[in-house]
């Protein structure tokens, strides 16, 4: 069916409109539509948009309305424009057509580019198929791959001797020195038919990691244990665990490799199937997950781990997983729908204070404290290590090493370094290694080259002094003695004495000085304001809390009354203004610090009596209620 290129009209009407500028503009727009769509499509569009009659009308306004319907493709337009509105409408039509033509040009250009790219990709795809066919026919190996395989096999033949730490590491629980109570608590908690998650506290280098590893082996041999013979021990460091909050990568809990972004296995990626990757919690299923430095873990990751501890499973999600896809392997479907099993016992080790750990983690775990090592225990470790190395040592070597460290691992390191130095010196002399003996000179040479200093600088003394006393403090899990000294001079003007105290000692320690003023006045009727008093914490250390109150009061009492104080007794406790000795924290650590410094006696508050270890040896612990009782034990009578 042939349609007229232009809508019919009378010759007179056409001539009149062609003379009219607006009419010519209307005819021009119609011509553009004809060029863009073609005559047939213009008539067809006009018919669909109910504009055909209007387009054939001799009324200029109706023809403009028809153009509006066609250009804007809006059949709902019904109102004919007035003669005043027509020029503005024509401009809108022209702008719309201009936009359409611009889009048309861009689209044509894009289509040409797309066609070119598709042709290129097709050629590349054909080339890949050819290469694949060649590879399949030739096999996976070539000269380069075979050469690298030979290098790997040659590397496998090279074996260095075990490191010293492997040899010196305890192989049985009985060989872990100084941690009998901690080891017993650890094994009993995991060997039970109802094993508990555990947090191990303690200073570094005292055997927490080794004890956890050996505890599992011991638990496997106990009747009623939940651990199978092949129960795994998975070890990871919490400080080095890195993960992506989007769970793109999560070595601890597991992650999903989506086929587009992470790249699943080729046979899965080709069909668009996501691939779950199980994490360490699933590797530890049925065994122990040991996280060293658990206090350094990312808090959000730790919260996710706590959820796994509750559920004993790990859930996986992916927007690419389609449960109705027949190509999904059964194991992947099971993981996405049921999760992966993760039923394990968590053992976390930390050198942090318990109060610094996540309360939710602590509430789920039993807590076991590993104790600092005493000099005697360090010496025992050195003797055992020498036996494992099968080397002779001079008798004073263990004692020297114990002066420079309180860590068992560090003691082994020092001995291993001294062993290497002794071997090297024998080599230079051309002598046989059979004559090897580690001497005190070897040890001193090692500690000097490492710029090490003796761990304990304050030492107990049998000589008594005035105005000098040893308090006790705690840093982490390590106790230490705090040397406090005082001097007093009568002030020039009575009642206007000055008190000087370390600025770095802390505000609570300064408050103890004022408490001591009330106590001294009560004891002997002396006013601190009548003296220029200087109290010094040797070393300028910060005293955290009021626990040095008793020591400060005794130092002031000694100097004001010219009383000698014993230098082999250390004290701890808060002093009240009534002279009562109040309880403090960290009693075990403080007693340990006193033993390290060679003290024979420690005075503690009466209310802390229950905190003294039952099996304590090597030091006398005396509970006191008042400063008067403490004076009786501190004053040296000559």
Are 473 and 559 members of one domain?
A: yes
CA atoms within 13 A on the CB side of 518: 11
- Candidates 406, 409, 403, 439; CA nearest to 421 is 439
Query: What's the rounded mean pLDDT across residues 38-44?
Result: 76
Q: What is the pLDDT of residue 200?
A: 93
Q: Do both 413 and 549 map to the same domain?
A: no
- Does residue 519 belong to any structural domain of this protein? yes
pLDDT (tens digit per residue) in 433-480: 877 899 999 999 999 998 888 876 667 888 888 989 998 888 767 788
Q: Would residue 458 count as lying in a domain?
A: no
Instruction: Report if residue 163 sits inside a domain.
Output: no
Answer yes or no: is pLDDT of 627 > 70.
Answer: yes
Q: Is residue 457 part of a domain?
A: no
Is residue 455 a part of any domain in this protein?
no
pTM of the model: 0.66
Distance CA 73, CA 49 (A): 7
Whether residue 264 lies inside any domain: the answer is yes
134 and 209, same domain (yes or no): no
Strand partners, 200: 349, 368
Q: Where is the domain boundary, 134, 157, 180?
A: 157
Q: Are residues 150 and 8 in the same domain?
A: yes
In this structure, is residue 454 part of a structural domain?
no
Mean pLDDT, residues 489-493: 85
Query: Measured between alpha carbons, how far is 308 from 540 in angstroms, rounded to an integer?
Result: 47
List residues with catalytic annotation. 547, 590
Does residue 27 lie in a domain region? yes
Per-residue tokens: 402: 């114990």
Query: What is the distance between the alpha carbons of residues 507 and 505, in angstroms, rounded to a whole number?
Result: 7
Choice between 50 and 413, residue whose per-residue pLDDT is larger: 413
101 and 190 within one domain: no
Please state, in angstroms and rounded to a whole number, the distance separating the CA atoms of residues 530 and 565. 23
Q: Are residues 98 and 216 in the same domain?
A: no
Written as six digits, the tokens of 95 are 């702008």
Burial 524-550 (b: 16+ CB within 10 A, else e): eebebebbbbbbbbeeebebbbbbbbb
Q: Are 46 and 55 in contact (CB under 8 A)?
A: yes
> Distance between the two ends of the chain, CA-based, in angstroms?
137
CATH of residue 219's domain is 3.40.50.300
Asked if 468 and 634 touch (Cβ cutoff 8 Å), the reply is no
Whether 500 and 590 map to the same domain: the answer is yes
Give 556's Cβ-side CA count (13 Å radius). 33
- Specify the CATH number for the domain of residue 406: 1.10.8.60
pLDDT of residue 18: 47
What is the length of the chain? 638
Per-residue pLDDT of 104-122, as tens digits, reads: 778 888 888 888 888 888 8
Backbone angles phi, psi at 486, to 5 degrees: -145, 145
Q: Are residues 151 and 177 in the same domain?
A: no
Task: Identify whether the C-beta of residue 486 lies closer than 8 Å to the C-beta of residue 465.
Answer: no
Q: Which of 449, 478, 512 finishes a domain? A: 449
Based on the fold, state whether residues 507 and 384 are members of the same structural domain. Answer: no
Which domain range does residue 146 map to?
1-157
Question: For the chain, what percent of residues have pLDDT higher than 90?
Answer: 25
Could you tell me if 273 and 325 are in contact, meaning their C-beta atoms sit under 8 angstroms apart?
yes
Indicate whether 323 and 472 sit together in one domain: no
CA 513, 519, 521, 524 dihedral sign is negative
Question: Which is it for strands 392-393 and 499-501: parallel, antiparallel or unpaired?
Answer: unpaired
- 18 and 114 share one domain: yes
Structure tokens at 345: 């016992």
Of the candidates 420, 449, 478, which is a domain's last residue? 449
Residues 497, 630, single domain; the answer is yes
Q: How many domains does the chain have?
A: 4
């Amino acid at each position: 069916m042939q349609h007229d290129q232009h809508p019919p009209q009378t010759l007179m009407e056409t001539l009149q409109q062609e003379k009219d500028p607006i009419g010519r503009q209307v005819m021009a727009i119609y011509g553009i539509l004809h060029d863009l769509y073609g005559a047939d499509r213009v008539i067809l569009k006009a018919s669909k948009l109910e504009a055909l009659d209007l387009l054939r009308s001799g009324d200029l306004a109706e023809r403009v309305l028809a153009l509006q319907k066609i250009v804007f493709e809006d059949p709902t337009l019904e109102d004919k424009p007035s003669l005043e509105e027509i020029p503005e409408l024509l401009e809108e039509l022209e702008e719309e057509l201009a936009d359409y033509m611009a889009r048309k040009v861009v689209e044509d250009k894009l289509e040409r580019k797309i066609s070119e790219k598709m042709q290129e990709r097709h050629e590349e795809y054909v080339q890949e198929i050819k290469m694949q066919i060649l590879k399949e026919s030739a096999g996976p190996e070539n000269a380069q791959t075979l050469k690298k395989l030979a290098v790997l096999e040659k590397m496998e033949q090279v074996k260095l001797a075990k490191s010293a730490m492997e040899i010196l590491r305890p192989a049985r629980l009985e060989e872990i020195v100084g941690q009998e109570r901690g080891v017993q608590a650890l094994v009993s908690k995991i060997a039970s038919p109802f094993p508990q998650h555990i947090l191990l506290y303690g200073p570094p280098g005292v055997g927490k990691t080794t004890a956890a590893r050996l505890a599992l082996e011991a638990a496997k041999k106990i009747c009623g244990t939940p651990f199978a013979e092949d129960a795994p021990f998975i070890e990871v460091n919490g400080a080095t665990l890195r993960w992506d909050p989007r769970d793109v990568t999560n070595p601890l809990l597991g992650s999903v490799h989506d086929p587009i972004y992470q790249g699943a296995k080729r046979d899965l990626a080709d069909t668009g199937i996501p691939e779950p990757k199980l994490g360490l919690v699933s590797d530890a299923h049925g065994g122990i997950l040991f996280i060293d430095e658990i206090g350094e873990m990312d808090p959000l990751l730790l919260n996710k781990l706590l959820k796994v501890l509750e559920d004993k499973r790990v859930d996986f999600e992916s927007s690419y997983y389609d449960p109705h896809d027949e190509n999904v392997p059964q194991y992947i479907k099971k993981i996405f729908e049921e999760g992966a099993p993760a039923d394990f016992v968590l053992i976390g080790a930390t050198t942090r204070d318990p109060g610094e750990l996540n309360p939710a983690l602590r509430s789920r775990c039993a807590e076991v404290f590993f104790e600092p090592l005493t000099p005697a225990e360090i010496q025992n470790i050195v003797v055992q290590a020498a036996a494992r190395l099968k080397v002779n040592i001079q008798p004073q070597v263990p004692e020297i090493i114990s002066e420079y460290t309180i860590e068992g691992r560090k003691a082994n390191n020092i001995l291993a370094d001294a062993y290497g130095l002794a071997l090297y010196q024998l080599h230079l002399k051309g002598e046989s290694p059979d004559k090897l003996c580690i001497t005190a000179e070897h040890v001193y040479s090692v500690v000097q080259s490492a710029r090490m200093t003796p761990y304990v600088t304050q030492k107990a003394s049998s000589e008594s002094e005035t105005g000098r006393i040893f308090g006790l403090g705690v840093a982490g899990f390590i106790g230490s003695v705090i040397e406090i000294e005082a001097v007093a001079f009568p002030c020039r003007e009575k009642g206007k004495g000055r008190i000087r105290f370390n600025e770095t000692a802390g505000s609570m320690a300064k408050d103890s000085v004022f408490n001591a003023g009330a106590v001294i006045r009560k004891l002997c009727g002396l006013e601190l304001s009548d003296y220029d008093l200087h109290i010094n914490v040797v070393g300028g250390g910060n005293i955290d809390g009021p626990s040095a109150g008793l020591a400060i009061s005794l130092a002031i009492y000694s100097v004001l009354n010219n009383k000698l104080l014993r230098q082999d007794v250390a004290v701890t406790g808060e002093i009240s203004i009534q002279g009562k000795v109040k309880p403090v924290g960290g009693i075990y650590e403080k007693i340990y610090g006193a033993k390290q410094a060679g003290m024979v006696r420690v005075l503690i508050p009466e209310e802390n009596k229950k905190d003294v270890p039952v099996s304590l040896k090597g030091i006398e612990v005396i509970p006191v209620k008042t400063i008067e009782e403490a004076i009786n034990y501190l004053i040296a009578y000559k």
